[in-house]
Amino acid sequence: MSPALKYFDNEYDSIIRHICNSSQSTSPQDSDFDDTYYNPRLDSTNFLEGPLSYNPSTRLRQLLARPGIVVAPGICDGISARCALEAGFECLYQSGAATTASRLGQPDLAIATLNDFTDAARMVCSLDPTVPVIADADTGFGGPVMVARTVTQYARAGVAALHIEDQVQTKRCGHLLGKQVVSREEFLTRIRSAVHARDTIPGGSDFVIIARTDSAQVLGMDEAIIRLQLAAKVGADVCFIEGVKSKELLEKTVAALAPKPVLVNVISGGLTPSFTTKEAEEMGAKIIIFSLVSCVAMVHAVRAAMQSLKKTGTDYASSQGMGPKNFFELMGLNDMIQLDTQAGGTTFREI
């Protein structure tokens, strides 16, 4: 409990205010961080050995501590999550844009609420509770108290990690233009609130806090890196600069934030080049997410199916031979039949 309570010391807050308001320094100094957050229970060395945990947040920490990049495809609903699990991915990413589109049919303009996000996460996390889900939490949906509530709600839903950003409340997709960001101090308040909330979850939570900055396109890469260095000092577990525009800038980011893990977000046609997982790993990134991989693919597939149905009057071609039973098998039908049989039921003896 003590590491979390430290965040709200007046002395620590005055240090952060001094850093944020300083016009003479463009990078944080070691002397500014006498009270750097440290929780020995969450030290990465604790997660280097042993079998992968069934607890998704613990498992994610193990994946972060061990060799190899964590690849998390963006999912937008139960169908896309099932497809990602079938493909063998060991981590999933719940994109804010994907959640807003799939649940509301709206663009990513801060329209979806905390309830929209947690309801979607609860469903996705239930499909395979051992697979870590990293979830977008936008700006935390409000001030410090609301940020803290967001963390506890996500953790209760089964999410392994979330990222909170420094855009203003009326945010937009990180790959659109015209973004605005809050001050350094307000961003750090969000991160401190998130870490404090995690550390006060009864039982000692391993929940992973990811600090995301959208300031690179607004204030420049140097400011973005400084913000994440500060966020790491107040307890962020992973750092995420949205919209890294080149290989060189990603490598610069990784070097500046080492040894803190760095997340890179790849959206085809977005601000960041379409790095492959191998390329991102070679550049030093520890997590790569493909936010809209399922959404965009779904749009193309559904558009084609609807146009084919409109033109031909049948869905035979678009079904590609997949009947109802095949579809339900992808959705977990066989597991349900097995459970019923093991319980002594006969409901699904013939199906």
CATH number at residue 285: 3.20.20.60
335 and 197 belong to one structural domain? no
Range of weakest confidence among 157-161, 173-177, 195-199:
173-177
255 and 209 belong to one structural domain? yes
- Give the CB-side neighbour count of residue 226, counting CA atoms within 13 A: 20
The distance from CA 103 to its chain's CA centroid, rounded to whole angstroms, is: 18
Q: What is the pLDDT of residue 230?
A: 98
Q: Which residues does the annotation mark as catalytic? A: 93, 108, 136, 138, 163, 165, 173, 212, 242, 265
Mean confidence (pLDDT) of the chain:
90
Closest CA to 231 of 248, 247, 211: 211
- Tell me which of 97 and 29 has the higher pLDDT: 97
Q: What is the pLDDT of residue 12?
A: 35
203 and 331 belong to one structural domain? no
141 and 226 belong to one structural domain? yes
Report d(CA 190, CA 236) in Å as an integer: 10
Taking residues 111-136, report their average pLDDT: 97
Range of weakest confidence among 8-22, 125-139, 164-178, 249-263:
8-22
Q: What's the pLDDT band for 274 if we cut at 50, 70, 90? A: very high
Number of domains forming the structure of the chain: 2
Report d(CA 79, CA 81) in Å as an integer: 5
Q: Is residue 106 part of a domain?
A: yes
Q: What is the pLDDT of residue 29?
A: 47
pTM, two decimals, is: 0.88
Domain that residue 333 falls in:
317-345
Q: Is residue 312 part of a domain?
A: no
Report d(CA 74, CA 136) in Å as an integer: 10
